[in-house]
Chain A
Amino acid sequence: MEKKIKDEIKDLKQEIYNKKKEINDIKELIKEDIDRDFEINLWELSEKELDNEMGNRLSFLNEDIDPRPDKRSISSHRKILGKPIVFIKRLFMKLSNIYTNTILEKQRKFNEELVAFHLASFIRFRKNEEKLKDIEKQIKEIEQNQDIMLEKIESILDKNKNKQ
């Protein structure tokens, strides 16, 4: 292979690499959407997975208790025009909040109660689960002790038989 060709390929590689380095978004790198939504069949989950699922969903609910719009959600990527656009949008939001907040505040309270209720159910479920585990453990110990007792009885019976 000629050195010249090798060098040209090397230069081309460097050029493409430099461009690649500047792109942070994977989707842009391959010009393809990479994220998908997967449905979870809750019936397929193991106990541990269900437990995680309950915890995760509850924390998501908790994060989303307040349905009122946050002014930080309005932003703009435009450098010069951005600021006035954001200002106008935020002003409009402030005005509309006078009317929507009455309804949304009621919704917020409802959400709060609902999350609290779920949390209480979750804790109760956990406590019951612990009780059940304790009972299972006790049964196992009883069974093991029973086996040892039976063996002892058998050996006593054997000794008695031998004496007779």
Chain B
Amino acid sequence: MEININDRQREIIKKIINNPSKELLEFKKDIHKIAEKSGIQGAFNTILRTEVALKIRKPSIAIYDHTFHVIGGGQKYGLTVANVLQKDFDITLISNREISIQNILKWYDLDLSNCKIKIIKIPFFEKNLSHIDPGMVSKRIENPFHTISKETGNYDIFINNSMNEMVYPLSNISMIICHFPERRATSYFYADKYSHVIFNSKYTAEWIKKKWKFQPNKHIYPPVDMETSFDKTDKENIILSVARFEISGSKKQMEMVRAFIKLNKKYPEILKNWKLILAGGSQKDNQYLQKIQDFIKSNKTTNIEIIINTSANELKSLYNKSKIFWHLCGLDQTDPSLIEHFGMTIVEAMQNKLVPIVFDGGGQREIVEHDISGFRVKSISELIIYSIKLITKQDITKDMSINSYKRSKLFTRETFDIKIKSFFYKILKDYISI
């Protein structure tokens, strides 16, 4: 019967652990045999595992993301994993473009001073300094991501945080953190070659099954830590939305503006002291944002405010003083990738006791329990109905605000840390107990 590489590794390592000085020569012979039979990578992996089992060094982890150089929720997920594990593991962050520990601290308030950074440029994407998009790669060209695949084999654990299923994992333990399966299994698909597939929401898991035809094995919600230390009980009459102003309009800010104007026209007396604030990041010359601003101007509406590229502190203050939170990403959308995969800003709002009214789809269904910790809506008319309910019935709003806050505890940084630690330490235990 053929013995797999894992069992062979155990056998060899066991011998050298029991009697290092006596078995050293045999160990060397075994390593060369593995190289001959299973390839040089198998031999190298056996040495790596031996070093950790013999406590010669700390286990090493590489976390790769081809988008580490830009700010985003997915990137924060991988970097938080590094932050949690940096004490007990030797961590290297692999990026294709320049990044720095200082920027990570500034962008996400994450101290990664114990981690190393390795920049590996991919020549294919460097030619015109183009956007690193795995979607541009087809079987007609050589897989440019094999530059990274080769690097994966230098660590005990390789974590692919980048929604890039074209990196082949060579390490002893490998994980792909899937924030959403953007492409189907076509050329250079290796997601099923990873020993663990971590997913951020049940919605993502459903699509992994549909698109990649296998069941991912570890569910860990993203960490959200927006709870403000000061608790404001006398909140103001503000409906808040926090989302990027995407040029495609996928976050549906225009629909929210229309809905608020409609609400104003329908219930002018009730709405006269209420304000809608749309906060979010935007790139320069954003036509979609311009369209919204023009629309507000043409309607002579004074109680809608737009705040662009706000600071983290200002955002916290907005969350702190607002009562209701709107999030409609996914409304009228047929493309599943454009429906919120999770919805971090919804949780941020709930951590600050806002009552969320969100689109009934995607990861939003996992966050908001309808009629308990907020409302889930399928249309603008439903959004209007539930908003009026919350605006006019203070007791319902108060109860829901408490429920919303309680619900948000499922998605805190503490919960994330506990899950990550227990998952990794169990894996490490299996790795070193021979």
Contact = CB atoms under 8 A, between A and B. Distances in A.
A34 to B, nearest CB: 6
Contact of A26 (B48, B146, B154, B265): B146
B37 interface: yes
A30 interface: yes
- Interface size class of chain B, counting residues whose CB lies under 8 Å from the partner chain: 35 or more
Interface in A1-39: 1-2, 4-6, 8-9, 12-13, 16-17, 19-20, 23-24, 26, 28-32, 34-36, 38
Contacts of B55: 1
A159 interface: no
A81 interface: no
A16 B262 contact: no
Nearest to A35: B188
Contacts of A20: 40-41, 44, 153
Interface residues of A, number: 40
Interface centre among A5, A23, A29, A148 (most CB of B within 10 A): A29
Contact of B56 (A6, A32, A38, A49): A6
A26 B40 CA distance: 10
Interface stretch (B20-28, B198-206, B350-358, B420-428): B20-28
Contacts of A72: none
Nearest to A141: B258
Given A30-B170, A44-B210, A5 B20 contact: yes
Nearest to A13: B47
A29 B39 contact: yes
A116 B154 CA distance: 49
Contacts of B81: none
Given A12-B28, A44-B210, A60-B140, A1 B334 contact: no
A147 interface: yes
A13 to B, nearest CB: 5
User: Which of A38, A44, A63: most chain B Cβ within 10 A?
Assistant: A38
B44 A47 contact: no
Nearest to A4: B21
A90 B21 CA distance: 62
A40 interface: yes
Contacts of A63: 140
20 contacts: A8-B24, A9-B27, A9-B54, A12-B27, A13-B51, A16-B43, A19-B35, A26-B149, A29-B40, A29-B150, A30-B42, A31-B38, A35-B187, A38-B185, A40-B184, A44-B184, A46-B334, A46-B335, A52-B135, A148-B265
8 nearest interchain CB pairs? Answer: A31-B39, A29-B41, A30-B39, A38-B185, A48-B335, A13-B47, A20-B40, A5-B20
Given A31-B37, A32-B39, 8 more contacts: A2-B20, A13-B51, A16-B31, A29-B150, A31-B38, A35-B187, A47-B335, A148-B262
